[in-house]
Amino acid sequence: MKIIYLLVSFLSFCVSAQVYNLPALPFSNDAYEPYIDGQTMQIHHDKHHAGYVNNLNKAIASTPMEKLSITDLLMYASFRSASVRNNAGGHYNHSLFWEILAPPADQKPMSKELENAIINQFQSIDEVMVAVNNAAATRFGSGWAWLVVNPQGKLAVYSTANQDNPIMDVSNERGIPILGIDVWEHAYYLKYQNKRGDYLSGIWSLINWGVVSDNYTAALNNPLLAELEKDNWLALKEFHKVMAQTFHPAEEKNFEPLRSRSGEMYAKAILLKNSRPPETVNNKKVQDALSRLEKQCFIIHSTVQKPSKKVDVQNALLFDQITKAHEIFHEIQGLCHD
Ligand code: MN3
């Protein structure tokens, strides 16, 4: 009995204490030389990546985020704390980076499927490497350069700052990364110092195109691509933020956020009405709901601006009005996810 109790408490300790784990490097630290030195690999993996994993676990501990997948944490990064955004990104990005690197003798060749796609879009393998290197070389400060599959199923090259990546809604360009190059100084400084270009020339000798090819096939078949397409409506997200930050306090009888931001909410409703929805949801039903939402936000803003001696009565009216706006908003969201 005691053993079972100990076992259960040990297991629950493991589950709650460590949601994400540091993946082991597939090769020894010095297997990546001369392109990346052993000490850099060791510090990069054992210290930097481990730090992202530990801080991510701390940031989500005892919150509903413990139950979300890493892609959920990334996709809605704009709604998360800086700590979740940076550390979930850091963990995801480095996990991908270790997967695609291998000493030349351990690499597998590129698939025909990926080769054809690259030649179709970039003319040659060399050209895609030039495009990624340009993105990496011109990234100011710390960040990443990416080869992604975008929501249209095409290859694209992007770069993002810090530990952001194209799965995140904070990135204007969305897609599933299949190759990522770390251009933080911690990735190369010991050996290359300020010569980012030399690091970028060397790193291609370590890219395992076989793994990148597997990532390409997996990305094309990943349902996340369709989610990214629908999620790529920035005006809807901008409106969602104001709505969430005014409606939820109002539900708790705090009308101050709504009273001070009704003008901003109305302005964002106008921008949303005039924005271009993703192709798959650009239909009459959605357009009609957008018009109703704009009118409803105008009504709310007019109520806020009216002088009123009976604040309780006006708050009750405002609550009815924002509840209606909130319903129309969710109707639009629902139409997006049918
Ligand atoms: Mn790094």
Q: From the CA of 54, how far away is ligand 1's center (Å)?
A: 15
Residues 57 and 197 in one domain: yes
Q: From the CA of 127, how far away is ligand 1's center (Å)?
A: 25
Q: From the CA of 216, how far away is ligand 1's center (Å)?
A: 22
C-alpha 11/C-alpha 263 separation (Å) is 51
Residues 254 and 215 in one domain: no
Q: From the CA of 48, how far away is ligand 1's center (Å)?
A: 7
Per-residue pLDDT of the chain (338 residues; tens, 9 = 90+): 455 555 544 555 444 444 899 999 999 999 999 999 999 999 999 999 999 999 999 999 998 889 999 999 999 898 889 999 999 999 999 999 999 999 999 999 999 999 999 999 999 999 999 999 999 999 999 999 999 999 989 999 999 999 999 999 889 899 999 999 999 999 999 999 999 999 999 999 999 999 999 999 999 999 999 888 877 788 998 899 999 999 999 999 999 999 999 999 999 999 999 998 887 788 899 999 999 999 999 999 999 999 888 999 999 999 999 999 999 999 998 877 65
Residue 134: which domain range?
25-222
C-alpha 101/C-alpha 107 separation (Å) is 8
* Within a domain: 11: no
Residues 182 and 243 in one domain: no
- Amino acid 277: pLDDT: 87
Q: What is the DSSP string of 20-45?
A: S-PPPPSS-GGGGTTTS-HHHHHHII
- Amino acid 136: pLDDT: 95
Q: CATH code at 164? A: 3.55.40.20
Residues 140 and 170 in one domain: yes
* Within a domain: 41: yes
What residues does 101 pair with on adjacent strands? 207
Among 222, 249, 273, give the residue marking a domain's end.
Answer: 222
First to last CA, the chain: 50
Q: Are 326 and 276 in contact (CB under 8 A)?
A: no
Among 168, 191, 222, give the residue marking a domain's end.
Answer: 222
* Within a domain: 326: yes
Residues 135 and 276 in one domain: no
Count the neighbouring beta carbons within 10 Å of the beta carbon of residue 92: 23
* Within a domain: 173: yes
What residues does 158 pair with on adjacent strands? 146
Q: From the CA of 18, how far away is ligand 1's center (Å)?
A: 21
Q: From the CA of 332, how far away is ligand 1's center (Å)?
A: 39
- Amino acid 3: pLDDT: 53
User: What's the domain count of the chain?
Assistant: 2
Q: From the CA of 188, how far away is ligand 1's center (Å)?
A: 9
Residues 69 and 201 in one domain: yes
Residues 199 and 239 in one domain: no
Q: Which residues contact 272 (CB under 8 A, 6 or more apart)?
A: 235, 236, 238, 239, 290, 293, 294
pTM (predicted TM-score): 0.76
* Within a domain: 146: yes
Q: From the CA of 187, how far away is ligand 1's center (Å)?
A: 5
Among 190, 222, 254, give the residue marking a domain's end.
Answer: 222
- Amino acid 314: pLDDT: 96
Q: From the CA of 142, how far away is ligand 1's center (Å)?
A: 9
* Within a domain: 37: yes
Q: What is the DSSP string of 236-298?
A: HHHHHHHHHHHHHHHHTT--HHHHHHHHHHHHHHHHHHHS---GGG-SHHHHHHHHHHHHHHH
Q: From the CA of 174, how far away is ligand 1's center (Å)?
A: 21
Q: From the CA of 172, how far away is ligand 1's center (Å)?
A: 22
Q: From the CA of 195, how far away is ligand 1's center (Å)?
A: 16
Residues 40 and 107 in one domain: yes
- Amino acid 7: pLDDT: 52
Q: From the CA of 52, how far away is ligand 1's center (Å)?
A: 10
* Within a domain: 296: yes
C-alpha 247/C-alpha 233 separation (Å) is 21
Q: From the CA of 38, how far away is ligand 1's center (Å)?
A: 14
Q: Are 250 and 243 in contact (CB under 8 A)?
A: no
Q: From the CA of 15, how far away is ligand 1's center (Å)?
A: 27
Q: From the CA of 128, how far away is ligand 1's center (Å)?
A: 22
Residues 81 and 190 in one domain: yes
Residues 213 and 243 in one domain: no
Q: From the CA of 98, how far away is ligand 1's center (Å)?
A: 10
Residues 257 and 208 in one domain: no
Q: From the CA of 233, how far away is ligand 1's center (Å)?
A: 30
Q: From the CA of 105, how far away is ligand 1's center (Å)?
A: 24
Handedness of CA 292, 297, 300, 305 (dihedral sign): negative
Residues 38 and 97 in one domain: yes
Q: From the CA of 184, how far away is ligand 1's center (Å)?
A: 6
* Within a domain: 18: no
